[in-house]
Amino acid sequence: MQHDDAVWNLLSQNFCSFKVKTRTNTFCKHEYNVTGLCSRQACPLANSRYATILEREGRCVMYIKTIERAHMPNKLWEKIKLPSNYTKALEIVDERMQYWPKFLVHKAKQRLTKITQYLIRKRRLKLRAKTRLVGINKKVEKRDRSREAKALRAAKLDRTIEKELLERLRSGTYDSIYNFPKVQYEKALEEEAELEEEEDEELQEEEEEEMEYEAEYDSEEDEEEEEYASSMQDMEDLGSESKNGEKFDFDDDSDLDDEEIAEEEVKKVLTSRSKTRAKGRKRKSRGVRVEVEYENEPTTSQQESNRN
């Protein structure tokens, strides 16, 4: 009944419907072939004893063909479902293929390994969320783009934001903050006025002195300037003091870096304001004797350099 050699002769020498010849190799399309190559060892037709492992519906199944079954082609292959546990499956393979050719045992185990691995990978991939690709409708996209541009124009963003902020200011959201420049500023103004009155008196005295010591005019002038500078300093100190007071708690120096920008601007506004006022008053009070230098110089160092 068994004529393996005769079958192999036929298949290899003549026609085999599973045989695929390429330039470099000859392949076998038979599903049960353990290697996929057309060879005497691996041919599932020309071997009356043969075993392979295949994947059926996510499980490994062992297919075994023995000489004893050769007379009934419909039951030629015995099918054994292998357990999903890899080691147990290996044990069964070992048990069923005891004393079989080493080549077939080795290939069967190789297939078992490969199949278990890809099944694990398959399960893992299935569990992972997949990104869904969504088409972009060009027409809609284009329409949205032009509508967005029109909406932006209609929004008049700067104006609406300004309006909202002013509304907040009026409704008193910033009361704790924006009272401070006004209150402190007025306070500063009062103090400034007092200072200037004193200064005026001094000036008058000075003028009298000046008449006497005309020769020493220059040094006199310097002194006066220093005085003015110090008064300015006082005013600035006043401003910063007020800021350190109850309205602002700048006591914590930790986040001073971040506040610097914001603080600077506030300071700028405050000082520039007090200075312009100071300038104006000074001019008036001086009367006839106008000190041109004070007009442009905000700091003492500049004043000095200008004089030189």
Partner 1 sequence: MKSVPRELSGIRDKVARRRVVLEEKAVKKKDRREARKSREKERERLGSEAPPKQEPRTLENTREHDETIVQRGDEAVTEAEQVDEFAGVFGGEVTPKILVTTGYRATRVTYEFLKDFVAVIPNIVYYKRGQYELKKIVKYATSKDFTDIIVVREDHKLLTGLVHCHLPDGPTAEYRLTSYLPSGRIRNRGKSTSHTPEVILNNFTTRLGRRVGRMIGALFPHNPEFRGRQAVTIHNQRDFLFFRFHRYVFSEAGERVRLQELGPRFTLKLKSLHGGTFDPAGGEFEWIQKKDMVTSRRRFVL
d(CA 257, CA 265): 14
231-250 residues in contact with partner 1 (CB under 8 A) are 248
Q: Which of 109, 267, 273, 279 binds partner 1 (CB under 8 A)?
A: 273
Residue 165 binds partner 1, judged by CB under 8 A: yes
Q: Which of 120, 152, 183, 193 binds partner 1 (CB under 8 A)?
A: 152
Query: Structure tokens of 209?
Result: 């002195």
Residue 256 binds partner 1, judged by CB under 8 A: no
CA distances from 160 to 14, 155, 173 (A): 89, 8, 17
Shortest approach of partner 1 to residue 194 CB, angstroms?
23
Query: Structure tokens of 281?
Result: 């008053």
Residue 142 binds partner 1, judged by CB under 8 A: no
What sign results for the dihedral spanned by CA atoms 252, 258, 262, 268?
positive
Find residue 65's DSSP bridge partners.
50, 77
Find residue 62's DSSP bridge partners.
53, 80
Q: Identify the three-state secondary structure at position 98.
A: coil
The count of residues interacting with partner 1 (CB under 8 A) is 43
Residue 166 binds partner 1, judged by CB under 8 A: yes
Closer residue to partner 1 in complex, CB, 103/178? 178
Residue 259 binds partner 1, judged by CB under 8 A: yes
Residue 193 binds partner 1, judged by CB under 8 A: no
CA distances from 308 to 117, 214, 218 (A): 91, 19, 11
Residue 86 binds partner 1, judged by CB under 8 A: no
Is residue 82 a contact partner of residue 60, using CB atoms and an 8 Å limit? yes
Residue 161 binds partner 1, judged by CB under 8 A: yes
Closer residue to partner 1 in complex, CB, 96/267? 267
| Residues making up the chain, counted from first to last | 308
110-139 residues in contact with partner 1 (CB under 8 A) are 128-129, 131-132, 137
Shortest approach of partner 1 to residue 3 CB, angstroms?
57
Find residue 37's DSSP bridge partners.
27
Phi/psi at 33 (nearest 5 deg)? -65, 130
Residue 251 binds partner 1, judged by CB under 8 A: no
Question: For tokens 């076998």, what's the residue?
Answer: 28
Q: Which of 1, 261, 288, 292 binds partner 1 (CB under 8 A)?
A: 261
Shortest approach of partner 1 to residue 133 CB, angstroms?
9
Residue 272 binds partner 1, judged by CB under 8 A: no
Shortest approach of partner 1 to residue 128 CB, angstroms?
7
Contacts of 28 (CB under 8 A, 6+ apart): 16, 18, 19, 20, 35, 36, 37, 38, 42, 43
Q: Which of 164, 197, 202, 216 binds partner 1 (CB under 8 A)?
A: 164
Contacts of 58 (CB under 8 A, 6+ apart): 119, 122
Picking from 15, 2, 52, 61, the residue whose alpha carbon sits closest to that of residue 44 is: 52
Residue 265 binds partner 1, judged by CB under 8 A: yes
Q: Which of 9, 25, 173, 276 binds partner 1 (CB under 8 A)?
A: 173
Q: Which of 95, 218, 246, 258 binds partner 1 (CB under 8 A)?
A: 258
Residues contributing to the site for partner 1 (CB under 8 A): 128-129, 131-132, 137, 140, 143-145, 147-148, 150-152, 154-155, 157-158, 160-162, 164-166, 168-170, 173-174, 176-178, 181, 248, 255, 258-259, 261-263, 265, 269, 273
